[in-house]
Structure 1
Amino acid sequence: MGDYRIIDVQLDDRTILWRSADIEQERRVAIFDLLEGNSFRLVTTRGAPHDGPYRIRLRVEDGRLAIDIADSDSEHIETIVLALSPFRRVIREYFAVCESYYQAIRQSTASQIETVDMARRGIHNAAAETLIERLSGKIEVDFDTARRLFTLICVLHIRG
């Protein structure tokens, strides 16, 4: 029986030019939550099958998401590359609603914050479903893992 989970996640900091305190907090929470509970199973492998656990590194290269996957000893297993074009619109929408959410937290009523947060969660959920579909046949993840990975993908897209 395999150990189908991520035990370490890194972001390619060369991709990230700037992070606000809010975004840095989102990154920390997403990584913490991801490592606390996730389901991640590599489906395609070059060579012998590998059952995990996994160490992953997320990076953007030539407009694509690259997920470098290594074993628990940091030996590279495989790199999965996904086109980011299906995510561009939803990433822009997510950034816009997150900015509204951060502003609402600072100056709005509880009901206004809840309304913006519902919109943020809706976009986030749709993006997680898209990520699950795009990973199909390569990596199997559960919904919560996909949501946290999407948050980290967004962090990689922040430009100052």
Structure 2
Amino acid sequence: MIKIKDYKNVIILEGNHDRYINMYGNDEETPSTTFNNKTKPEIEQSNIDKKDIRQLARKFHQLAYFTYKNTTYIVTHGGVSTVPENLLMTATTQFINGVGDYSDDIDYEFANNTAGQNVVQIHGHRNMYRLPVLAAERSYNLEGQVERGGHLRVVTLSENGIETHEVKNKVFKQISSEVQS
């Protein structure tokens, strides 16, 4: 991401774990055991300069909101239950972590709350019910459990509409039941 962060057609969405990247780049203590035990050593072994990490973190966006071919798109990490009336007055944590409880079916709620509107949601992060990429009418869910051997999910937007892609992750580390507890 460091290599592509300055391209004009790249928007890097902030996820719920990305605050640790920012904290690490600014020499702050990170409260995440997973980050401290896994991600931090990987970053340190790669010899990535903390200045590059700080520059990357400055490029984080909480959402992408645009209109293409008469359809409005809202793209976030966490998912929203509707298009907020005033995006500027919406807490960024809602775009990063999602709205409501983690177990809420954000895709179903979005489809119901935006019925009759020409708006599409694309998000990751929450998919407790293992929904397909097109998780509800006009709501695309990119969480495919890639880190556990699931699928990397991607959507391509073109003049022909939205095309979905899934690539099975065959290279992952099994998590033992002791570690999960």
TM-score interval w.r.t. the shorter chain?
under 0.3
- The TM-score normalised by the length of structure 2 is 0.25
- TM-score after normalising by structure 1: 0.27
Q: Which has the higher helix share?
A: 1
